[in-house]
Structure 1
Amino acid sequence: MSDYRVILLHGYNKDERDMYPLGELLEEEGFVVDYLNMPLTFGNMEESVYLLKELLCDLKNSGISQRDEIILIGHSVGGLVIRAALADRRMRRVVDRVVLISTPNNGCKLADMAGKYLPFLKKIYKPLKSLERKKFQELRLYSGKDIEVAAIAGSEPEMFLGRFLAEKNDGRVEVEEVRVKNLKDFLVLPLNHKAIHKKLGTAKYIANFIKRGSFRAD
């Protein structure tokens, strides 16, 4: 029976340390956990996509992907990095399952607002430019069926920026911005953007999906 190797990808303006709480919880579930540190504050998103593809190639060449199931889990923009890497069909031969947590899969209204009212931010924080909905379609993102992909959205808009979003949201990303076609499973949790990937309940749902292909245990 294959073992599971989980790779965690952090979001915008963070580093791998932001994923440590989830990693520790998944290790308690018996998974081997690795982290990918990416330049998602000032660097172009393409740089992070390159790093993930390089890691996946290393796993393939080492033979690990033949012994273990490779699971990619991305929080926020980290999920977009995953989908961009998987647009390359060679990468899809390495990965078995994917979980996207609070990922703006259809662009982000807050990025639109930042681009309109604070355009200088895009020059400093380069990933923001890719999240604008008018630019979002330029990203090549995987949305197929040959890999099992699930997504988790938050519905607790207690964070300050949540008040600028009209729909149900997690304070940063609307629920419907997370939902994308061809998902194997979709879950909404009453948590905000900064907390959703650090809670025991979230880790339990993810463990269910890794083992069974569904967030629910039954």
Structure 2
Amino acid sequence: MKWISVILLPLLLSVSGCSKPESEQVVTFNSSATDEQVIIIHGLGRSSWSMKTMSELIEERGYQVCVVDYPTIRQSLDHTLDSSTQEIERCLAKLASNPEQSTNRQKVHFVGHSLGGLVIRSYLASHPRLVNSDKMGEVVFVGTPNQGSDVADFFARSWLLSTLGETAESLTTHNDSFPNQLPQPNYDFGVIAGTASYPLFNGLFDEPNDGLVSVNSTKLTGMKDFALVDRKHDRLRRDPHVTELIVNYISTGTFASHSLKEM
């Protein structure tokens, strides 16, 4: 098993982005005509730059966009969450400080890819005032391992996962893992799951998956809508069709032609 892990780890690094250095913590804020803001949060080993395609497409649809950047590799989980919290609050402060966006129609939406969805869940769980306010908008989880990742389970059997740090180690399907310790959302949210796997990871799953996260792991009780797309995990964050589904959900509360019947 160890030699198989050594062979597969480079692929994991490639598709998760862990082979690339993380950039400095920078929040990108783009103003537009609307008073609705979308806060976008990247996944493990990525940076705000990795969400560039998605953020630009959403901005083109008239939303303010704030892309959060935070460290994930070789980091403690506490540091990852503390850093992401600071950057989310910087995004919120940008909206609040914009005199042109001071109407009662202000809304803040959240979109998280992979680990980014868990970061959103963690943040909102500890900020009930925002959740219960008129500013709270829609939330979309994209390829988020809400029940943990089978791939993390596989690499956790050796020392290899530990080389990526505690945040990566926290993403297993174990009952005491980070995703499985988060409270259930008490706000409206939709879930997008991919079904196109990476060939070398096919043997790690017994069910449909996007290469890193199973479809069943993305699901959460209470989700308002659910969409399946034939995309790999990494592709989800930069695919125009996926972004169109996100915009549909933010603006209408549904993924349009997709529905819970696909569950």
Query: TM-score, structure 1 length as denominator?
Result: 0.88
- 1:199 — aligned with what? 239
Q: Does the aligned pair in 2 maintain the 1:159–1:192 contact within 8 Å?
A: no
The equivalent residue for 1:215 is 255
Residue 120 of structure 1 and its aligned partner are, at CA, apart by 4.2
| Structure 2 residue corresponding to 1:136, chosen from 156, 177, 184 | 177
Does the CA contact (< 8 Å) of 1:152 and 1:188 recur in 2? yes
Matched, 1:71 2:109: yes
1:102 lines up with 2:140 in the alignment: no
CA distance in 1, matches of 2:193, 2:167: 20
Distance 1:206 1:165, change over 3 A: same
Q: State the partner residue of 2:221.
A: 181
Q: What are the equivalent positions in structure 2 for 1:1-218 lying under 5 Å apart?
A: 3-58=35-90, 59=92, 63=96, 67=103, 68-88=106-126, 89-92=128-131, 93=133, 95-116=136-157, 118-134=158-174, 135-136=176-177, 140-145=181-186, 147-216=187-256
Moved over 3 A (4+): 55-58, 64-67, 137-140
* Alpha carbons 1:41, 1:127 under 8 Å: kept: yes
Give the deviation of 1:82 after TM superposition: 0.6
8 Å CA contact 1:74, 1:82 repeated in 2:
yes
Give me the whole-angstrom Cα distance separating, in 2, the residues matched to 1:115 and 1:57. 33
Number of positions where the alignment pairs a residue of Structure 1 with one of Structure 2: 216
Provide the rounded CA distance (Å) in 1 between the counterparts of 2:73 and 2:49: 14
Q: How far 1:142 moved relative to its partner?
A: 3.9
**What one-letter code is carried by the residue in structure 1 that aligns with 2:63?**
F
Q: Per-residue CA shift, 1:100-138, capped at 9, x if unaligned?
A: 00000001111111111x224225432222112223268
Alpha-carbon distance in 1 for matches of 2:241, 2:160: 38
Structure 2 Cα separation of the partners of residues 23 and 57 of structure 1: 18
Distance 1:73 1:143 in 2: 17
- Per-residue CA shift, 1:68-102, capped at 9, x if unaligned? 21111110011111111111123424542211000
> Structure 1's 53 and 177: CA in aligned 2 closer, same or farther, altered over 3 A?
same
Query: Retained in 2: the 8 A contact 1:72–1:95?
Result: no
Shift of 1:201: 0.9
Q: Give 5+ residue unaligned stretches, structure 2.
A: 1-33, 259-263
Mind listing any 5+ residue stretches in structure 1 that lack a counterpart? none
Larger radius of gyration: 2
Q: Quick one: structure 1 residues 47 and 66, their matched pair in 2 at CA, closer, same or farther if it must change by over 3 Å? A: farther
Q: Match of 2:147, SS?
A: coil
Displacement after TM superposition at 1:63 (Å): 2.6
SS of the counterpart of 2:170? helix
Aligned alpha-carbon RMSD (Å):
2.5
Report the identity percentage: 26
What are the superposed Cα offsets for residues 19-58 of structure 1, whole Å, 9 maximum, x if unpaired? 1011111112111111111111221233232234334444
Return the offset for 1:189.
0.3
Q: TM-score, normalised by structure 2?
A: 0.74
SS in 1 for 2:234: coil
- Matches of 1:217 and 1:63 in 2, distance apart? 34
- The 8 Å contact of residues 6 and 33 in structure 1, kept in 2 or not, is answered as yes
